[in-house]
Structure 1
Amino acid sequence: MRDKLGEYGFDVEPYEVGKACANILAQIIKRRSEGLSDDVTKLDYKRLEKGQRLKNIAPASIERRGNKLEIAGEIITINQALVPDNIAEQELEYIHALYEVFAEKLNRENFTKDDMPLLNRGMRENFREQREAYYSAVSVERSVRDMFTDGENEFQILKDDAWRGIDTTYWKDYPDGYARLNAVLEKVTSTSLDRSILSQMRNLIGNLEKKGICHILVNDGTIESWVHVND
């Protein structure tokens, strides 16, 4: 991908490839809004400006297909964050909250990654899915932040709307934190997040991303714990 960008004169480091693609897309959107051509040789990644506001384009005309974003027939690859084998620093808050859930479920004082074999298959799969969900949501957050001037604000609206959809479920009484976690995750998948324009972009926000938003809310401190709710 870096070599391909280089063919068009973009000087991009390997770690910048995802951001560069998003920003090049933003410039294409801006040029189209001004009635200009899509000639990427006229673009300059180094002097990149923020993209157009989401409210100034038709979100319903944007469709996500896997890791591709289609805008009026233009296919752009978006940066899908891969789930690393090791827990990344940015995950620590929501991972700690999940570890608390497992510790309570196993009646242990603490739980660490070394204790993962103690979980049954269902709980191990649950943990794997939650990491996948988190990174799927983060990928969307980063992409819209880089592509659109108001992308960061629209994702914040999405998070706020998600919390308002799950807060009653979260505060209910449960036998343990694992039950609370799963009840909230089930609830968020059936919650319509209509306040954000992002929800109008076809296939951008699916069930996996909705679950991932719950873990971003943990990282943000909106959800402090799945276990120690009333402490």
Structure 2
Amino acid sequence: MEFTDFGTRLYDVASSNMQRGDFCRMLFDNITDLSTADGDPLDLEADTYRKYLRGASPITKLAKSINAYIETTVFIAYIEHHPEGVIGNIAKAFKDVFPDIDVNDSKQVAECIAELFEAIILDASKEPTPLSEDSGLDSFEKQSDTADNNETRFSNQLIDVSNSKIYYDPQSEMLYIGKSKMRVPKSIIPDEPEEHEMVYVNELLAAYSNTSGEKLTIATLKGKFKRDYLDQRINYFSALDVERFARETVNVGDEQVGLWKSDTFSYINSVLWGNFDDDFQRLMAVMAKAVDAKTTSVIEKFENLINPAARKGVCHLLVTDGQMKWVDDDE
């Protein structure tokens, strides 16, 4: 297994909304004991770690510098520190590698993942250091010029998609921009909501509670509220995937994400502020409106990536940002 595959699987289930570069650095921090090292081989730019995680740069050079300092007990402790639900999701993410793994045995899961990470680093350290690893290519690193493999690999610069033909294949999770491609993996939705979800989740619970007339929790949701809650989590993670991808990959990504959100809010706010018999009706009406939202952000060019779930999920990003609520406390 390549590090990009290993790291992406962990990122999808255990990142807690961290930036990719920070998360990647944290993985290497937790697999090493550098107390006897001469200097800090992990003192690299965040962009370098982002490239490692996305597979835009091999970890060969880094692996050679840290292979003598690997300490799996540190990584085992890091994995075991996660909540049981997250550890279970980690086990599921690597079920193809460890088919007999017990998702309920935190110690076994942690040991398996730590040993796999160690093996990946040791294997990478045996490879010759590629000339292109520090070459600083301006935009793309050519992989092949053959007719069957005339593709490019994303390197260290953000992508200008303004004049590119873009296509996303949801089956392979590959995004094609002109003759270039990259993997855009979907998040694995954890069984229980994580800390970064709680703002929009609590707002949903408030809407359900106001509508039903009783104080509802995640555990007491039933019927249409339970179904909607599960759907809304899918919507949230669909939008979150798009937001993360755009921020870390697209040229002026932060600006484009902001435009995507603000334009969506401008499109839905007349419905949001309308008169409804209950807050659940308001929620349903806004979601129906959001599906049709078209914005001026370049994110719109990723048509197959921006699916109806992602368009609805922007509402939850706006709720999380404090830009909107389902329940008006003043009414």
Q: Select the residue among 2, 24, 32 that pairs with 2:56.
A: 24
1:38 corresponds to: 143
2:216 corresponds to: 111
2:80 corresponds to: none
> Unaligned stretches of 5+ in structure 2?
12-23, 28-48, 58-131, 145-153
Question: Which digits, 9 at most, give the CA deviation of each residue in 1:156-187, with x for residues without a partner?
Answer: 10000100000000000111110000000000
Structure 2 CA distance for partners of 1:13 and 1:79, relative to 1, 3 Å: closer
1:98 corresponds to: 204
Q: Verify the 8 A CA contact 1:54 1:151 in the aligned structure 2.
A: no
Q: Give the CA deviation at 1:210.
A: 0.5
2:169 corresponds to: 65
Question: Which digits, 9 at most, give the CA deviation of each residue in 1:140-164, with x for residues without a partner?
Answer: 1111211123112111100001000
Q: Verify the 8 A CA contact 2:238 2:313 in the aligned structure 1.
A: yes
Structure 2 CA distance for partners of 1:37 and 1:100, relative to 1, 3 Å: same
2:2 corresponds to: 2
Structure 2 CA distance for partners of 1:160 and 1:23, relative to 1, 3 Å: farther
Q: Verify the 8 A CA contact 1:133 1:209 in the aligned structure 2.
A: yes
Q: Does 1:226 align with 2:326?
A: yes
Q: Does 1:164 align with 2:230?
A: no
Q: Verify the 8 A CA contact 2:261 2:314 in the aligned structure 1.
A: yes
Matched letter for residue 65 of structure 1: D
Matched letter for residue 174 of structure 2: K
Partner-residue secondary structure (3-state), 2:182: strand
Q: Does 1:209 align with 2:241?
A: no
How far apart, in 2, do the equivalents of 1:138 and 1:23 lie?
21
1:175 corresponds to: 277
Which stretch of the first structure deviates more once superposed, 98-107 or 86-95? 98-107
Q: Give the CA deviation at 1:13.
A: 10
Q: Verify the 8 A CA contact 2:167 2:303 in the aligned structure 1.
A: yes
Q: Select the residue among 116, 123, 133 that pairs with 2:225.
A: 123
| Identical aligned residues as a percent | 23
How far apart, in 1, do the equivalents of 2:142 and 2:216 lie?
56
Question: Which digits, 9 at most, give the CA deviation of each residue in 1:28-78, with x for residues without a partner?
Answer: xx95857x6337xxxxx9xx74423444xx24x121111221123444211
How far apart, in 2, do the equivalents of 1:229 and 1:33 lie?
49
Q: Give the CA deviation at 1:227.
A: 1.9
Partner-residue secondary structure (3-state), 1:213: helix
How far apart, in 1, do the equivalents of 2:273 and 2:315 lie?
14
Structure 2 CA distance for partners of 1:49 and 1:96, relative to 1, 3 Å: same
Which of 1 and 2 has higher RCO (CA within 8 Å, sep 6+)?
Answer: 1
Structure 2 CA distance for partners of 1:149 and 1:216, relative to 1, 3 Å: same
Q: Verify the 8 A CA contact 1:2 1:14 in the aligned structure 2.
A: no
1:51 corresponds to: 158
Which structure has more helix as a fraction of its residues? 1
Q: Verify the 8 A CA contact 1:2 1:13 in the aligned structure 2.
A: no
1:42 corresponds to: none
> Unaligned stretches of 5+ in structure 1?
40-44
Question: Which digits, 9 at most, give the CA deviation of each residue in 1:114-136, with x for residues without a partner?
Answer: 212xx21x322211110001001
Structure 2 CA distance for partners of 1:4 and 1:161, relative to 1, 3 Å: closer
Q: Give the CA deviation at 1:89.
A: 0.4
